[in-house]
Structure 1
């Protein structure tokens, strides 16, 4: 069961201070859709009705990469990746200088049992070695590319700890003068 409410993912125009929420099924196959719709939303970013900001291609690529990583983490490591799970993506420009990306998952997944005949220590060591070689760098990428980032529980009450996690990242927006250069 998902706690993320259904929100239509139709076309949107982002303006300063406004939110553009989109809900995606918790399936890694949706990653290309997440990227495409985010690129579309970023292309429509406006500071006012008649004053386009215009985002540099490298900033768009950076935001899209960070969104892909946060989406994949939500699907891989939370209940969002289970049948019926969902991931919420929100894009906003809370100030003229910042673009904020938010990914909300459905909460912590239940721990998986060890494989029969393997001790926890053996399983963990082997899994960690393999995972480190191929995976585990998503949040490191976000840390490197975003101006600021963090995470917090969806609801800040101890008895609601498993309801979901919010991962956010902020990016510096060009000033209108920088955008026209």
Structure 2
């Protein structure tokens, strides 16, 4: 696998209005870097940023969310959403048909080659996902190296 290359780091207020802005910016950044298939990664950004604003201290007054966008080789993008922490670890859950929420991490799981959760550098949480954003020249190569594509890996804090 080729190395990881940081494309951008975005800092946004921890408010709901930041979510579509982050989604748009990530799409533009990836398009400028030559990635053609950005819809899945934009959905992942929306879900992870929305979770950070809704479920962590980032959503409190004065809070913020950081989104890092990195290219992994020519075909994968890694998104890292850094929040200010919470009392719980993000986990996918089974939503009932009548639930209005609770499907976000299942969507992230479906759109990603792999994803996970780790402790942030200063007490926050980093939720990351790696998503295919370009077609490889060799159809057998997703750019993921030895990464299994069937399930996500969740690393608990």
TM range (shorter): 0.7 to 0.9
Larger radius of gyration: 1
**3-state DSSP of counterpart to 2:5:** coil
Q: What's 1:18 paired with? A: 6
**Per-residue deviation, 1:94:** 2.8
Residue matched to 1:6: none
Residue from 112, 124, 144 that aligns with 1:146: 112
- How well do the aligned residues superpose, as a CA RMSD in angstroms? 2.6
Write the distance in 1 (CA, Å) between the matches of 2:117 and 2:135. 25
| TM-superposed deviation, 1:91 | 0.5
TM-score normalised according to structure 1 size: 0.64
Alignment: residue pair count:
130
**1:177 Cα shift?**
7.2
Partner of 2:129: 169
- TM-score, normalised to structure 2, is 0.73
Paired position in structure 1 for 2:39: 61
**Residues 19 and 46, structure 2, Cα contact 8 Å, conserved in 1:** yes
Name segments (4+ residues, structure 1) moved above 4 Å: none
Task: Check 1:97–1:35 CA distance in 2 against 1; reply closer, same or farther (3 A cut).
Answer: closer
Give the number of the structure whose residues are more often helix, by fraction. Answer: 1
